[in-house]
Structure 1
Amino acid sequence: MLFEAGQRVVFIGDSITDCGRRDAHAPYGNGYMSLVRAFITARRPDVPLTWVNRGISGNTVRDLAARWERDVIEQRPDWLSVMIGINDVWRAFSDRAAEAVPLDEYEETLRTLLRRAVDATGCRLVLADPYIIEPDRGEPQRAESDRYTTVVAKLAGEFGALHVATQQAFDDVLACSPPSRWAADRIHPELPGHAVIADAFIRAVLEPPVVG
């Protein structure tokens, strides 16, 4: 495992990360972040870690920029996990299209935030893809989402980050099951859907790819 005893692991993102962490399910939420914490703790009880959830429902990368100093830099993470982009895409397909974040702005904003975090704290990064639980790659929102996923993979390479391929994880289960098994709206997972995300995250941390 890449995490070391005593490290601080901070998660930031939108509603998929939030999952009630500010109210009924404080402080970790009841989604993938809580599952990751639980299973890594269970598998490696010899590696005590501090876990912090800073997800806020509805956020785009613009919202992260507005709270980055408080919710990332001041948290002094050893590891920072970022999953953002679902709302950046989704808004373009809703009645809030003016709030959608264009791809170039998304990429440059996220790159700037990641550089700021690494330079200020020395943290290592975990970058998780935005996703949509939709098997048809030609469906307009899925096609647009895939462009943002490509950006995350690119930035993971630039920063030497762990890359959690959440879209691929959902594609794998969608090969033999309908989207409705995982989420009613293709975005907000039920617990099994959060388990899909958590499993991809845990595999990335516990079984990092061998380079060279």
Structure 2
Amino acid sequence: MRLPQHTKLLFIGDSITDAGRDPSGEPTPWTNDIGLGRGYVNLVNALLHISTPESKIRILNQGISGNTIRDLSQRWQEDVLDHKPDWLSIKIGINDVWRQFDQPHRKETHVSPEEFAATYRQLLDQTRPQLQGLVLISPYFIEPNRDDPMRALMDRYGAIAHKIAQEYDAVFVDAQAAMDRLTQHTHPAEIAWDRIHPSSVGHMAIAQAFVDAIS
């Protein structure tokens, strides 16, 4: 396990990270671990506590539903830098792609690959020197047909995240590969009704990939 004792690990991202979290972003006496949401962040917390109960890792969830990389940039100071995390995990890109398909006429909501990459690098330039560790999780689309236009564009944004992870000495978690393994034997609708927001199985796939990557 790469995380030392008493590490503060902060997750930031979109609805997949948010998953109904408490506004405080962490467990409280009245929410218990559900304060972290009902998604992969909560499952990572459980897996880490099972595997290394002595580590006393503190996890914060700063995911907000609907966010793009542009939204992260606007709240970066308050929701990341002010918390002074030891480790940071970023999962972003799905809405950057999705808005180009579900809101094709609202060009102002679209984040181009170039803007996505440039903004990602700007955020990491501010943050990487203060971090002990960094994890970038790829965006994904639960669609086995790689020629599907949205899947093809999602793969492009995932490749950008992978390249940036290499540039900034970050751990890369390939969530798309985790979903692809599931769709070899499972119809996408069983994993996520909209091919985006996963069931507990999909969230566990992300959580397990995360824990495997940092182990």
Aligned match of 1:139 in 137, 141, 148? 148
Q: 1:33 aligns with which of 17, 21, 41?
A: 41
Q: Tell me which amino acid in the other structure corresponds to 2:2.
A: L
| Counterpart mapping for 1:183-198 below 5 A | 183-198=192-207
The secondary structure found in structure 2 opposite 1:27 is helix
| Alignment-derived partner of residue 28 in structure 2 | none
Which digits, 9 at most, give the CA deviation of each residue in 1:66-107, with x for residues without a partner? Answer: 000001100101100000000000000012642120000000
Residue number in structure 2 paired with 1:100: 110
CA–CA distance in 2 between the matches of 1:202 and 1:110? 23
| 8 Å CA contact retained: 1:21, 1:29 | yes
Identity of aligned residues (%): 43
RMSD: 1.3
- Written as runs of structure 1 = structure 2, the 5 A alignment for 1:116-155 is 116-119=126-129, 121-155=130-164
Kindly indicate whether the alpha-carbon contact (under 8 Å) linking 1:117 and 1:123 is maintained by their aligned counterparts in 2. Answer: no
The aligned length equals 205
The alignment's TM-score, normalised by the length of structure 1, stands at 0.93
Give the distance between the partners of 1:104 and 1:190, measured in 2 at CA.
31
In the other structure, the counterpart of 1:21 is 21
Alignment-mate amino acid for residue 153 of structure 2: E
Which of 152, 165, 170 pairs up with 2:179?
170
Q: State how far apart, in whole Å, the 2-side matches of 1:124 and 1:4 are.
A: 10
Provide, for residues 106-143 of structure 1, a one-character-per-residue CA deviation record: whole Å limited to 9, x for no partner: 00100110121113x23421000000000000000000
Long gaps (5+) in structure 1 = 207-212
Corresponding residue for residue 7 of structure 1: 7
Q: Alignment partner for residue 119 of structure 2, among 109, 116, 122?
A: 109
Partner of 1:210: none
Q: Does the CA-based 8 Å contact 2:88-2:131 persist in structure 1?
A: no
Unaligned runs of 5+ in 2: 24-30
Q: For structure 1, which segment, 1-10 or 173-182, has the greater mean C-alpha deviation from structure 2 after superposition?
A: 173-182
Residue 47 of structure 1 corresponds to 55
Secondary structure of the equivalent of 2:11? strand
1:198 to partner: Cα distance: 0.7
Structure 1 distance, partners of 2:136, 2:210, is: 10
| Residue 203 in structure 1 maps to residue 212 in structure 2 | yes
User: What is the DSSP-based 3-state SS (H/G/I as helix, E as strand, rest coil) of the residue aligned with 1:160?
Assistant: coil
Relative to the length of structure 2, the TM-score reads 0.92
User: Counterpart amino acid of 1:28?
Assistant: L
Q: Deviation per CA, 1:19-56, whole angstroms, max 9, x where unpaired?
A: 11136885200100000000111110111111100000
